[in-house]
């Protein structure tokens, strides 16, 4: 139990963040959410959380910290589109680097006990020579997004060296599940799921042989919860260790949804990694974390969510 501890979640109206907020409240944390709603949805926010419509790049962030006095900060707010980061690297850097720096500074001033930073395994290592790749693999981003998340990690480490702000960094695979936004490019499973459920033709960019490590959102939330007490000053991959190609994923979803048509083939996108999956042996040995939801089960849960949403909107 949390014994009345306070947690602040940036991006808590978003996909992963809102699931984390629900879990924290179930575990009796006092939760505040900071989100500018650029991609998050107000309807995702647990009514028992205190919500602040606030951008993390703004100086007024410090006032929220003074009011809420959080013990733990979970930093999930980010610009997450690889394509958008290539189109506008300055905006990407402002959100992912300057925003993280503002949060770290507010955390330092407020005496936060721990800063848990959501990073990317999928975009940080580039195209690794060995898959699944460990935390020791070379960092070699292929996009401004991957670089900005890595710079955020380095600031997190620096704030411990300079100011003793304790931290854990979690590098996620491709997270999927209920509430993921199907608009944009960040969640291929969400995009495919909604299109198939609505009878529209999904698009596959490039050959479709690209491989990703798809990890279910509930497993990612569990990693965050374990990091509250464990994994101080350490970086962990959070993935399944298995690669699934976009073509394989498409066929799996066709089976679940009874979708019978081929995808529309589109040109490959710049900055996209070809094959990446992550070994999470370190998270298992030090956090006690293993992925518990397999891809087939996770896809069923995701499709069920999208069917419910579509049914509710069409009446």
Asked if residues 277 and 295 have their Cβ atoms less than 8 Å apart, the reply is no
Q: Which residues contact 129 (CB under 8 A, 6 or more apart)?
A: none
33, two tokens: 């959410």
Question: Do β-strands 167-172 and 234-238 pair in parallel, antiparallel, or remain unpaired?
Answer: parallel
Q: How many helices (H) and strands (E) does the chain have?
A: 11, 13
Query: In the numeric block, which tokens belong to residue 216?
Result: 């279910």
CA distance 34 to 89: 23
Which residue shows structure tokens 């518990």? 292
Catalytic residue (one of 29, 117, 125, 145):
145
Clarify whether 205 is annotated catalytic. no
C-alpha to C-alpha distance for 22 and 302, rounded to whole angstroms: 18
Catalytic residue positions? 145
């Amino acid at each position: 139990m949390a014994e009345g501890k306070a947690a602040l979640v940036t991006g808590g109206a978003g996909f992963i963040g809102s699931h984390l907020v629900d879990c924290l409240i179930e575990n009796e944390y006092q939760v505040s959410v900071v989100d500018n709603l650029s991609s998050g949805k107000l309807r995702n926010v647990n009514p028992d959380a205190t919500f602040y419509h606030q951008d993390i790049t703004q100086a007024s962030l410090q006032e929220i910290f003074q009011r809420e006095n959080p013990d733990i900060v979970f930093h999930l707010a980010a610009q997450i589109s690889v394509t958008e980061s290539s189109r506008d690297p300055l905006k990407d850097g402002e959100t992912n680097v300057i925003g993280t720096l503002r949060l770290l500074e507010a955390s330092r001033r407020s005496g936060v006990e721990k800063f848990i930073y959501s990073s990317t395994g999928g975009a940080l290592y580039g195209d690794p020579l060995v898959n699944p790749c460990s935390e020791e693999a070379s960092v070699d981003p292929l996009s401004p997004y991957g670089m900005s998340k890595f710079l955020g990690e380095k600031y997190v480490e620096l704030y411990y060296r300079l100011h003793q702000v304790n931290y854990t960094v979690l590098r996620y695979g491709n997270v999927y599940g209920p509430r993921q936004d199907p608009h944009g490019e960040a969640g291929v499973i969400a995009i495919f799921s909604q299109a198939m459920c609505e009878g529209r033709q999904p698009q596959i960019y490039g050959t479709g042989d690209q491989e990703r490590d798809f990890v279910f959102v509930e497993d990612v939330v569990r990693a965050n919860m374990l990091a509250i007490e464990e994994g101080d000053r350490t970086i962990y991959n959070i993935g399944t260790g298995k690669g699934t190609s976009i073509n394989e994923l498409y066929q799996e979803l066709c089976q679940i949804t009874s979708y019978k048509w081929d995808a529309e083939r589109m040109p490959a996108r710049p900055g996209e990694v070809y094959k990446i999956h992550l070994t999470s042996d370190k998270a298992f040995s030090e956090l006690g974390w293993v992925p518990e939801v397999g891809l087939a089960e996770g896809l069923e849960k995701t499709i069920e969510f999208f069917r419910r949403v579509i049914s509710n909107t069409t009446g």
